[in-house]
Amino acid sequence: MHIVELKLVRIVELLIGIPFGIGGFIIGATYPLLVITGLHHTYTMIETSLLANTGFNPVITLCAMYGFANVGTCLAFLAKAKKENVRQTAVGAMLSQLFGISEPVLFGIQIRYNLRPLVIMLCSSGLGAALLSILNIRSNSYGLAVLPSYLMYIYEGRQLLWYFIVSLISVTLCFTLTYMFGIPQEVLETDDAGSHDGNDADYIETDHGQISVRINSPLTGKAVPMTEVPDDTFAAQVLGKGMAVLPSEGKVVAPCEAEVTTVFDTKHAIGLTTKEGVELLIHIGINTVELGGKYYEVHVAEGDQVRPGQLLVTFDIAKIQNAGYNLTTPVIVTNTDDYKTVEGMASGTVKFMDSFVKVEN
């Protein structure tokens, strides 16, 4: 194991040593992809070894520009988006990112909106890391991100000054490029309830024009209020309101007629958009992105039109739990702020297609 560790450290050192900041760009641009797949934890071993052998940790320095670029993404959406729910998502995601929690930005904005914001963030993170590599900036610690990360450079004035300057460049670059090229048309339009054909059994429009959509349960198990989900991001409803299920059967079905809008490479989450425009994220388990797709099988593809009760995902409950993961599964209305109310309808045991969440406008 020690031999493998030394080899990995050597590879990273060689990358960092590639001239003109090329190695720094590679590390800075690829690190966010490792976060999405959960593989970024492998860097901890490398950073620990670097600190033990050299007293410095240039890896966290290069990776940290990812967090600052994410802040730029949030600021761009906050400044340009017209939809109030998108602006609120951007504020919540930015506040989380300032203290090192990046999932709300990744899943709530960058992956959700046609991947253009993600590509811009990767380039901004890579360019910021390249500058730091050229300047030979390196921390003397690890584990701190965005605002707290400045503490890792107070040991020398030059290090702190250049790290501060490059971090601002990363924020500004990502903000500018996202503002100009990364904001999708759908968030530039003002809030509008849209039109409905009235043929969906889960859709009701009253005489007073009130819209009510019922979302059925995509799982069988125990209903869990979102505020009780054992994860701070979900419990704080940063990504939206909804409910969760602690599953007793390892499959997820379509809760209603919908389009599959997102299938994560790690198979642990799937996004749907109903006929009425309700956007759903079904996230199977807590931190299960770290499994990299093990014990999951997806049965649909992005763009598929699915009918109520159609099988979407199967997963091995026993193996996932034995790997140390909680399988509480949030079902989130990610465009919550488009609606007047989003509230749970279930308690105790729920079965597939039981009434689960009610959305009203």
Q: In whole angstroms, how far apart are CA 228 and each of 223, 233, 242, 262, 342?
A: 10, 11, 12, 26, 16
- Tell me, yes or no, if 40 is annotated catalytic: no
Neighbours of 75 (CB within 10 A): 20
- What does the DSSP 8-state code read for residue 182? I
Cα–Cα dist 77/79, whole Å: 5
- What does the DSSP 8-state code read for residue 309? T
Q: What are phi and psi of 97, to 5 degrees?
A: -65, -35
- What is the C-alpha R_g of the chain? 22
Q: Render 134-173 in DSSP notation, one character per residue.
A: HHT--BSS-S--SGGGGGGGTT-HHHHHHHHHHHHHHHHH
Out of 40, 41, 196, 283, pick the active-site residue. 283
- Give residue 168's identity as a one-letter amino acid code: L
Cα–Cα dist 323/317, whole Å: 10
Neighbours of 158 (CB within 10 A): 11
Cβ 244 vs Cβ 328: under 8 Å: yes
Exposed, middle or buried by CB within 10 Å (0-12, 13-18, 19+), for 232? Answer: exposed
Q: Which residue has the tokens 């921390």?
A: 139
Cβ 50 vs Cβ 9: under 8 Å: yes
Catalytic residues: 283
